[in-house]
Amino acid sequence: MGIQIAPSILTADFARLADEAAKVSNADWLHVDVMDNHFVPNLTLGVPVVESLVKAAPMPIDCHLMIEDPDRWAPGYVEAGASSVTFHIEACQAPIRTAREIRAKGARASMALKPATPIEPYEDILSELDMVLIMTVEPGFGGQKFLDICLPKIRRTRDLVAKHGLDIWIQIDGGVSAETIERCAEAGADVFVAGSAVYSADDPNLMVEKLRTLAADAS
C-alpha cells in the first residue's frame, strides 16, 4: 500500500475526539493508544471510546494496546470495530494464539517492540503477523524525542521480512516529525504514527500530506 500516515489521538483534545479525527480526514489510519497505568505509567481510554471513534472517524482505527494481559483484552478491541490491533510482545504470554484470534475476528494483527526489545527472537512468528510496530520512544507518553538508536532495528526488521518473503508493514511510533520521518522511511518503515507533529500543526491535514511526501521520497 505504500507509505501510510496514522495520526495519534494521544495528543488530541480528548473532549472533542470526533472533531479531532475529522481534522486528519486524509490520514490512512487513526492511531489510538490504549494505556492501563500498569504496563505503562499512564491511563488513557478503552473499548467504549474505541466503539465511539469507529462510528465517528472517517478512517479505520489502529489500536495500540500498551496494557497488561493483551491475550485477554485484544479480541475485544476487534469486536469494538478496530481494523488493526497491536499487542506488546513484552506483555503477551501467547502471541501466536493472540495474533490468530485477532485475525480470525477480522482485523490486522500487529506486534509492538519497546526500544530495548530486539526483533531477532521473534523471527519465527513473523508469519503470524500483519505488522510490526517498532517504538522509537519509551511507550507511555506523547511528545517524546525520537531515539535514533532504533534505526538499526528498523533495518534488521525489514531484512527479516524480506528474507521470509512476507507482506508485513513496519510501523514507527514515537517522535515522528518532518525532521525524523525520512530516516525511518530510508531504514524500511512504511507506516508512521505522528501525534504532536500533526496535532500541533496549524493545518493537521496539510501536515499529514507533508509527512507522507517526505517519507515517500526517502523510501
pTM, two decimal places: 0.95
**Stretch among 10-14, 82-86, 205-209 having the lowest mean pLDDT:** 10-14
The pLDDT of residue 41: 81
Place of cell 479505520: 60
59-116 per-position pLDDT tens digit? 999 999 999 999 999 999 999 999 999 999 999 999 999 999 999 999 999 999 999 9
What would you measure as the largest C-alpha separation in the chain, in angstroms? 45
In the chain, the percentage of residues whose pLDDT exceeds 90 is 85
Say how far residue 21 (Cα) sits from the centre of its chain.
16
Mean pLDDT of 113-130: 98
Q: What CATH number is associated with residue 13?
A: 3.20.20.70
pLDDT band for 203, please (50, 70, 90 cuts): very high
Number of domains in the chain: 1
The pLDDT of residue 15: 84
The residues, ordered by sequence, that sit 6+ positions from 137 with a Cβ below 8 Å of its Cβ are 115, 144, 145, 146, 147, 173, 174, 175
The pLDDT of residue 74: 97
Place of cell 505488522: 131
In the chain, the percentage of residues whose pLDDT exceeds 70 is 99
pLDDT band for 140, please (50, 70, 90 cuts): confident
C-alpha pair distances (Å), 208 with each of 118, 158, 193, 211: 29, 24, 10, 5
Q: What is the mean pLDDT of the chain?
A: 95
151-185 per-position pLDDT tens digit? 999 999 999 999 999 999 999 999 999 999 999 99
The pLDDT of residue 11: 84
Query: What are the residue numbers of the active site?
Result: 33, 173
Alpha helices in 29-142 (DSSP H): 47-56, 70-79, 95-104
The pLDDT of residue 139: 83
Domain of residue 146: give its range.
4-218
**Stretch among 44-58, 114-128, 170-184 having the lowest mean pLDDT:** 44-58
